[in-house]
Amino acid sequence: MPVRDAEAADAEEICALIEEHARYEGNTTLVLDRAEMTKHLFGSEPKAWVLIAEPPGQPGVVAGFAFCSWNFSTWEARPGIWLDDLYLRPEYRRHGLGGELLTALRARTSGRVEWEMQEGNDKAAAFYARLGAEPVSGWVKYRWNQRRP
pLDDT tens string 93-137? 989 999 999 999 999 999 999 999 888 889 889 999 998 999 898
The full set of domain ranges for the chain reads: 3-131
The mean pLDDT of 6-33, rounded to a whole number, is 96
At 1 the pLDDT is 61
Instruction: Report d(CA 144, CA 106) in Å as an integer.
Output: 28
CATH number of 3-131: 3.40.630.30
pLDDT tens string 41-78? 999 999 999 999 999 888 889 999 999 999 999 999 99
At 63 the pLDDT is 96
For the annotated catalytic residues, the residue numbers are: 128
